[in-house]
Amino acid sequence: MHTIRVSGDINFRRATATRQLLLQHLADDDGLVVDMSDVHRVDSAGLAGLVEVVQAARVSGRSFQLRYVRDGVRRMIEFARLDRLFSYAEAGGPIPCEGC
């Protein structure tokens, strides 16, 4: 399983590029872990891109997990009622939200 670190906000400006990057890495291995420790915010476009990657992983029989998800990002995922869709590979627990 491959791990990739995503940095910055995953928003409408970066959602497409982030989705394409994750899909590319997902296709290169049997699974993907996304290190979200440097992601402070995600909007609806970012969530939609992550959902597309989750769906692609399921269709292809590959694993897709999020790791080190900050509290603010996790709350956004829960607010959108997508928390059951994502699998978390936690090591050390969630990262506190800074400036929320």
User: Is residue 67 situated within a structural domain?
Assistant: yes
User: Is residue 94 situated within a structural domain?
Assistant: no
With a pLDDT cut of 70, the percent of the chain lying above it is 89
Q: What is the pLDDT of residue 90?
A: 66
Range of the domain at 38: 2-88
Domain count of the fold of the chain: 1
User: Is residue 44 situated within a structural domain?
Assistant: yes
User: Is residue 93 situated within a structural domain?
Assistant: no
Q: What is the pLDDT of residue 56?
A: 96
The DSSP symbol for 2 reads: E
pLDDT, tens digit (0-9, with 9 covering 90-100), for 40-82: 999 999 999 999 999 999 999 999 999 999 999 999 999 999 9
Look up the CATH number of the domain holding residue 59: 3.30.750.24
Q: What is the pLDDT of residue 21?
A: 95
- Describe the strand order of the beta sheet including 2-7 as a list of residue ranges: 2-7, 31-38, 63-67, 87-88
User: Is residue 97 situated within a structural domain?
Assistant: no
User: Is residue 98 situated within a structural domain?
Assistant: no
| pTM metric for this prediction | 0.86
